[in-house]
Amino acid sequence: MAVPSVAVQRRPSILSRLAGSRNALGLGFMLPAAALLLVFLTYPLGLGVWLGFTDTRIGRPGIYIGIENYEYLWSDGVFWLSVFNTLLYTVSASILKFVLGLWLALILNEKLPFKSFFRAVVLLPWVVPTVLSAIAFWWIYDSQFSILSWALQQMGLIDHRINFLGDPTNARASVIAANVWRGIPFVAITLLAGLQTIPQSLYEAATLDGASRWQLFRHVTLPLLTPIIAITMTFSVLFTFTDFQLIYVLTRGGPVNATHLMATLSFQRGIAGGQLGEGAAIAVAMIPFLLAAILFSYFGLQRRRWQQGGGD
Protein backbone atom coordinates (compact mmCIF):
# COMPACT_ATOMS: atom_id res chain seq x y z
CA MET A 1 0.00 0.00 0.00
CA ALA A 2 2.87 2.27 -0.75
CA VAL A 3 1.98 5.67 -2.11
CA PRO A 4 4.13 6.36 -5.15
CA SER A 5 6.41 9.06 -3.81
CA VAL A 6 7.33 10.23 -7.29
CA ALA A 7 3.77 11.03 -8.12
CA VAL A 8 3.20 12.87 -4.88
CA GLN A 9 6.20 15.13 -5.36
CA ARG A 10 5.52 16.10 -8.93
CA ARG A 11 1.78 16.27 -8.98
CA PRO A 12 1.28 19.89 -7.91
CA SER A 13 3.27 21.33 -10.84
CA ILE A 14 0.73 20.41 -13.47
CA LEU A 15 -2.19 18.75 -11.88
CA SER A 16 -2.96 21.31 -9.22
CA ARG A 17 -4.84 23.34 -11.79
CA LEU A 18 -7.05 20.34 -12.39
CA ALA A 19 -7.67 19.78 -8.71
CA GLY A 20 -11.14 21.20 -8.91
CA SER A 21 -12.28 18.76 -11.53
CA ARG A 22 -10.27 15.84 -10.21
CA ASN A 23 -12.76 14.96 -7.51
CA ALA A 24 -15.67 15.15 -9.89
CA LEU A 25 -13.83 13.09 -12.46
CA GLY A 26 -12.74 10.59 -9.82
CA LEU A 27 -16.32 10.19 -8.72
CA GLY A 28 -17.45 9.55 -12.29
CA PHE A 29 -14.74 6.98 -12.88
CA MET A 30 -15.50 5.23 -9.61
CA LEU A 31 -19.21 5.07 -10.34
CA PRO A 32 -19.54 1.66 -12.10
CA ALA A 33 -17.36 -0.20 -9.59
CA ALA A 34 -18.85 1.60 -6.60
CA ALA A 35 -22.42 1.02 -7.76
CA LEU A 36 -21.90 -2.71 -8.28
CA LEU A 37 -20.03 -3.17 -5.02
CA LEU A 38 -22.41 -1.09 -2.92
CA VAL A 39 -25.50 -2.82 -4.32
CA PHE A 40 -24.22 -6.41 -4.41
CA LEU A 41 -21.63 -6.43 -1.62
CA THR A 42 -22.10 -3.75 1.02
CA TYR A 43 -25.88 -3.85 1.03
CA PRO A 44 -26.11 -7.67 1.24
CA LEU A 45 -23.58 -7.58 4.06
CA GLY A 46 -25.92 -5.32 6.00
CA LEU A 47 -28.97 -7.25 4.87
CA GLY A 48 -27.33 -10.45 6.11
CA VAL A 49 -26.85 -8.97 9.57
CA TRP A 50 -30.48 -7.82 9.56
CA LEU A 51 -31.76 -11.22 8.37
CA GLY A 52 -29.95 -12.78 11.31
CA PHE A 53 -32.31 -10.88 13.60
CA THR A 54 -35.45 -12.02 11.76
CA ASP A 55 -37.32 -15.28 11.25
CA THR A 56 -37.36 -14.95 7.46
CA ARG A 57 -38.05 -18.11 5.52
CA ILE A 58 -37.96 -18.79 1.81
CA GLY A 59 -41.11 -17.31 0.32
CA ARG A 60 -42.15 -15.52 3.54
CA PRO A 61 -40.74 -12.18 4.71
CA GLY A 62 -39.85 -12.37 8.37
CA ILE A 63 -40.28 -10.08 11.34
CA TYR A 64 -37.73 -8.81 13.82
CA ILE A 65 -37.21 -11.38 16.57
CA GLY A 66 -34.17 -9.91 18.29
CA ILE A 67 -31.41 -12.34 19.13
CA GLU A 68 -33.65 -15.41 19.13
CA ASN A 69 -31.69 -17.04 16.29
CA TYR A 70 -28.46 -16.57 18.21
CA GLU A 71 -30.02 -17.86 21.43
CA TYR A 72 -31.16 -20.93 19.57
CA LEU A 73 -27.73 -21.46 18.00
CA TRP A 74 -26.05 -20.95 21.38
CA SER A 75 -27.90 -23.99 22.71
CA ASP A 76 -27.57 -25.97 19.46
CA GLY A 77 -25.00 -28.74 19.64
CA VAL A 78 -24.73 -29.09 15.86
CA PHE A 79 -23.82 -25.42 15.53
CA TRP A 80 -21.03 -25.73 18.11
CA LEU A 81 -19.85 -28.90 16.43
CA SER A 82 -19.63 -26.99 13.15
CA VAL A 83 -17.63 -24.23 14.87
CA PHE A 84 -15.27 -26.85 16.24
CA ASN A 85 -15.02 -28.55 12.83
CA THR A 86 -14.35 -25.25 11.10
CA LEU A 87 -11.55 -24.38 13.52
CA LEU A 88 -10.04 -27.85 13.31
CA TYR A 89 -10.29 -27.81 9.52
CA THR A 90 -8.81 -24.32 9.20
CA VAL A 91 -5.97 -24.77 11.68
CA SER A 92 -4.80 -28.20 10.55
CA ALA A 93 -5.21 -27.53 6.84
CA SER A 94 -3.48 -24.14 7.09
CA ILE A 95 -0.52 -25.53 9.00
CA LEU A 96 -0.10 -28.38 6.53
CA LYS A 97 -0.47 -26.05 3.56
CA PHE A 98 2.09 -23.67 5.01
CA VAL A 99 4.70 -26.31 5.80
CA LEU A 100 4.29 -28.27 2.57
CA GLY A 101 3.86 -25.14 0.47
CA LEU A 102 7.01 -23.55 1.88
CA TRP A 103 8.89 -26.79 1.31
CA LEU A 104 7.73 -26.95 -2.31
CA ALA A 105 8.61 -23.29 -2.81
CA LEU A 106 12.12 -23.89 -1.49
CA ILE A 107 12.51 -26.87 -3.83
CA LEU A 108 11.29 -24.88 -6.82
CA ASN A 109 13.68 -22.07 -5.92
CA GLU A 110 16.64 -24.41 -6.44
CA LYS A 111 18.39 -24.64 -9.75
CA LEU A 112 16.35 -27.22 -11.65
CA PRO A 113 16.00 -28.50 -15.19
CA PHE A 114 12.55 -27.76 -16.69
CA LYS A 115 11.90 -25.37 -13.85
CA SER A 116 9.15 -23.34 -15.53
CA PHE A 117 7.46 -26.57 -16.57
CA PHE A 118 7.39 -27.82 -12.98
CA ARG A 119 6.14 -24.49 -11.74
CA ALA A 120 3.34 -24.52 -14.30
CA VAL A 121 2.35 -28.10 -13.56
CA VAL A 122 2.40 -27.64 -9.81
CA LEU A 123 -0.18 -24.87 -10.00
CA LEU A 124 -2.73 -27.04 -11.82
CA PRO A 125 -4.72 -28.14 -8.74
CA TRP A 126 -5.37 -24.52 -7.99
CA VAL A 127 -6.47 -23.62 -11.52
CA VAL A 128 -8.99 -26.39 -12.01
CA PRO A 129 -12.50 -25.77 -10.62
CA THR A 130 -12.60 -26.96 -7.01
CA VAL A 131 -15.89 -28.75 -7.46
CA LEU A 132 -14.58 -30.78 -10.38
CA SER A 133 -11.36 -31.81 -8.64
CA ALA A 134 -13.42 -32.55 -5.53
CA ILE A 135 -15.51 -34.93 -7.62
CA ALA A 136 -12.27 -36.72 -8.58
CA PHE A 137 -11.44 -36.96 -4.87
CA TRP A 138 -14.90 -38.31 -4.22
CA TRP A 139 -14.13 -41.15 -6.61
CA ILE A 140 -10.67 -41.61 -5.10
CA TYR A 141 -12.32 -41.83 -1.66
CA ASP A 142 -15.07 -44.20 -2.84
CA SER A 143 -15.94 -46.72 -0.14
CA GLN A 144 -15.79 -49.76 -2.46
CA PHE A 145 -13.52 -48.89 -5.35
CA SER A 146 -11.10 -46.47 -3.75
CA ILE A 147 -7.85 -46.58 -5.65
CA LEU A 148 -6.01 -45.61 -2.45
CA SER A 149 -7.40 -48.56 -0.54
CA TRP A 150 -6.58 -50.86 -3.43
CA ALA A 151 -3.00 -49.59 -3.74
CA LEU A 152 -2.39 -49.83 -0.01
CA GLN A 153 -3.85 -53.35 0.03
CA GLN A 154 -1.60 -54.39 -2.85
CA MET A 155 1.39 -53.06 -0.95
CA GLY A 156 0.24 -55.06 2.05
CA LEU A 157 -0.04 -52.03 4.30
CA ILE A 158 -3.70 -52.51 5.19
CA ASP A 159 -5.87 -55.60 5.23
CA HIS A 160 -9.31 -54.14 4.64
CA ARG A 161 -10.69 -51.19 2.71
CA ILE A 162 -10.55 -47.78 4.35
CA ASN A 163 -13.95 -46.19 4.87
CA PHE A 164 -12.73 -42.74 3.89
CA LEU A 165 -15.91 -40.69 4.06
CA GLY A 166 -18.14 -42.89 6.22
CA ASP A 167 -16.26 -42.67 9.49
CA PRO A 168 -16.11 -39.30 11.34
CA THR A 169 -12.35 -39.26 11.94
CA ASN A 170 -11.48 -40.57 8.48
CA ALA A 171 -13.89 -38.15 6.87
CA ARG A 172 -12.31 -35.19 8.64
CA ALA A 173 -8.83 -36.29 7.63
CA SER A 174 -9.98 -36.93 4.05
CA VAL A 175 -11.53 -33.50 3.52
CA ILE A 176 -8.50 -31.84 5.11
CA ALA A 177 -6.20 -33.80 2.78
CA ALA A 178 -8.23 -32.73 -0.26
CA ASN A 179 -8.16 -29.12 0.90
CA VAL A 180 -4.40 -29.25 1.46
CA TRP A 181 -3.94 -30.77 -2.00
CA ARG A 182 -5.74 -27.84 -3.54
CA GLY A 183 -4.10 -25.20 -1.35
CA ILE A 184 -0.43 -26.17 -1.59
CA PRO A 185 0.09 -24.69 -5.07
CA PHE A 186 -1.22 -21.27 -4.06
CA VAL A 187 1.03 -21.10 -1.01
CA ALA A 188 4.03 -22.52 -2.88
CA ILE A 189 3.80 -20.24 -5.91
CA THR A 190 3.24 -17.04 -3.92
CA LEU A 191 6.05 -17.89 -1.52
CA LEU A 192 8.26 -18.74 -4.49
CA ALA A 193 7.64 -15.25 -5.86
CA GLY A 194 8.75 -13.94 -2.48
CA LEU A 195 11.84 -16.14 -2.42
CA GLN A 196 12.90 -14.84 -5.82
CA THR A 197 13.08 -11.29 -4.47
CA ILE A 198 15.65 -12.23 -1.81
CA PRO A 199 19.04 -11.09 -3.09
CA GLN A 200 21.58 -13.90 -3.57
CA SER A 201 24.30 -11.66 -2.15
CA LEU A 202 22.79 -12.07 1.31
CA TYR A 203 23.20 -15.84 1.08
CA GLU A 204 26.73 -15.46 -0.19
CA ALA A 205 27.64 -13.10 2.64
CA ALA A 206 26.10 -15.43 5.23
CA THR A 207 27.89 -18.44 3.72
CA LEU A 208 31.22 -16.61 3.89
CA ASP A 209 30.49 -15.96 7.55
CA GLY A 210 30.15 -19.70 7.99
CA ALA A 211 26.38 -20.04 8.27
CA SER A 212 24.94 -23.54 7.90
CA ARG A 213 22.05 -24.29 5.54
CA TRP A 214 19.62 -24.23 8.45
CA GLN A 215 21.02 -20.90 9.64
CA LEU A 216 20.69 -19.52 6.12
CA PHE A 217 17.05 -20.49 6.13
CA ARG A 218 16.35 -19.36 9.68
CA HIS A 219 18.17 -16.02 9.62
CA VAL A 220 18.04 -14.93 5.98
CA THR A 221 15.14 -16.61 4.17
CA LEU A 222 12.52 -16.65 6.89
CA PRO A 223 12.83 -13.03 8.10
CA LEU A 224 12.79 -11.66 4.57
CA LEU A 225 9.86 -13.87 3.63
CA THR A 226 7.74 -13.03 6.69
CA PRO A 227 5.68 -10.21 5.09
CA ILE A 228 4.69 -12.40 2.17
CA ILE A 229 4.03 -15.37 4.45
CA ALA A 230 1.72 -13.13 6.50
CA ILE A 231 -0.37 -12.08 3.52
CA THR A 232 -0.37 -15.49 1.84
CA MET A 233 -1.48 -17.23 5.00
CA THR A 234 -4.14 -14.60 5.71
CA PHE A 235 -5.66 -15.37 2.33
CA SER A 236 -5.20 -19.08 2.81
CA VAL A 237 -6.87 -19.02 6.24
CA LEU A 238 -9.75 -16.92 4.92
CA PHE A 239 -10.38 -19.26 2.00
CA THR A 240 -10.14 -22.32 4.22
CA PHE A 241 -12.34 -20.94 6.97
CA THR A 242 -15.09 -20.04 4.52
CA ASP A 243 -14.72 -23.19 2.44
CA PHE A 244 -17.94 -24.65 1.16
CA GLN A 245 -17.46 -26.44 -2.14
CA LEU A 246 -15.19 -29.25 -1.04
CA ILE A 247 -17.36 -30.30 1.88
CA TYR A 248 -20.53 -29.94 -0.14
CA VAL A 249 -19.19 -32.32 -2.78
CA LEU A 250 -17.45 -34.85 -0.57
CA THR A 251 -19.65 -35.29 2.51
CA ARG A 252 -22.41 -32.63 2.64
CA GLY A 253 -21.45 -32.29 6.29
CA GLY A 254 -21.80 -35.97 7.16
CA PRO A 255 -21.22 -38.50 8.64
CA VAL A 256 -23.31 -37.38 11.64
CA ASN A 257 -22.29 -33.74 11.05
CA ALA A 258 -18.64 -34.58 11.67
CA THR A 259 -17.48 -32.49 8.72
CA HIS A 260 -20.11 -29.74 8.78
CA LEU A 261 -18.40 -26.38 8.49
CA MET A 262 -20.16 -23.15 9.39
CA ALA A 263 -20.57 -22.32 5.68
CA THR A 264 -22.14 -25.68 4.83
CA LEU A 265 -24.38 -25.58 7.90
CA SER A 266 -25.45 -22.09 6.92
CA PHE A 267 -26.35 -23.38 3.44
CA GLN A 268 -28.14 -26.43 4.79
CA ARG A 269 -30.28 -24.47 7.24
CA GLY A 270 -30.68 -21.31 5.15
CA ILE A 271 -31.21 -22.52 1.59
CA ALA A 272 -31.92 -26.27 1.71
CA GLY A 273 -33.95 -25.98 4.95
CA GLY A 274 -35.49 -22.66 4.00
CA GLN A 275 -34.70 -20.95 7.34
CA LEU A 276 -33.04 -17.89 5.81
CA GLY A 277 -32.88 -16.05 9.13
CA GLU A 278 -31.10 -18.84 10.94
CA GLY A 279 -28.74 -19.45 8.00
CA ALA A 280 -27.86 -15.76 7.93
CA ALA A 281 -27.20 -15.84 11.68
CA ILE A 282 -24.71 -18.68 11.20
CA ALA A 283 -23.01 -16.73 8.41
CA VAL A 284 -22.84 -13.64 10.61
CA ALA A 285 -21.29 -15.75 13.37
CA MET A 286 -18.37 -16.36 11.00
CA ILE A 287 -17.52 -12.65 10.81
CA PRO A 288 -15.82 -12.33 14.24
CA PHE A 289 -13.55 -15.27 13.40
CA LEU A 290 -12.67 -13.75 10.05
CA LEU A 291 -11.91 -10.37 11.62
CA ALA A 292 -9.77 -12.07 14.25
CA ALA A 293 -7.80 -13.90 11.54
CA ILE A 294 -7.26 -10.71 9.54
CA LEU A 295 -6.26 -8.65 12.57
CA PHE A 296 -3.98 -11.37 13.89
CA SER A 297 -2.04 -11.67 10.67
CA TYR A 298 -2.09 -7.94 10.02
CA PHE A 299 -0.87 -6.79 13.40
CA GLY A 300 0.93 -9.88 14.64
CA LEU A 301 3.01 -10.49 11.58
CA GLN A 302 3.26 -6.94 10.27
CA ARG A 303 4.78 -5.80 13.56
CA ARG A 304 7.55 -8.33 13.22
CA ARG A 305 8.29 -6.83 9.86
CA TRP A 306 8.58 -3.32 11.29
CA GLN A 307 10.84 -4.58 14.02
CA GLN A 308 13.08 -6.17 11.48
CA GLY A 309 12.93 -3.11 9.25
CA GLY A 310 13.83 -0.91 12.20
CA GLY A 311 17.10 -2.73 12.71
CA ASP A 312 18.27 -4.52 15.82
The footprint of another protein on residues 22-51 (CB under 8 A) is: 22-23, 25-27, 29-34, 36-37, 40-41, 43-45, 47-48, 51
Q: What gap in Å lies between CA 50 and CA 64, rounded to an integer?
A: 8
Binds another protein (CB under 8 A): choice among 222, 287, 292, 295: 287
The Cα angle at residue 82 between residues 96 and 181, in degrees rounded to 5: 25
Taking residues 239 to 258 in sequence order and writing x for each that binds another protein by CB under 8 A, - otherwise, the string is x-xxxxx--xx---------
Q: What gap in Å lies between CA 104 and CA 237, rounded to an integer?
A: 19
Q: At what angle do helices 222-241 and 77-108 cross, to 10 degrees?
A: 140
Nearer to another protein, 70 or 118 (CB): 118
DSSP string, 144-202: TT-HHHHHHHHTTS-SS---TTTSHHHHHHHHHHHHHHHHHHHHHHHHHHHHTTS-HHH
Q: How far is the CB of 245 from another protein (least distance, A)?
A: 5
Nearer to another protein, 147 or 256 (CB): 147
Residue 12 lies near another protein (rule: CB under 8 A): no
Residues with Cβ within 8 Å of residue 93, at least 6 apart in sequence: 176, 179, 180, 183, 240
Q: How far is the CB of 111 from another protein (least distance, A)?
A: 3
The footprint of another protein on residues 181-210 (CB under 8 A) is: 181, 184-186, 189-190, 193-194, 196-200, 203-204, 207
Q: How far is the CB of 69 from another protein (least distance, A)?
A: 12
The footprint of another protein on residues 81-100 (CB under 8 A) is: 100
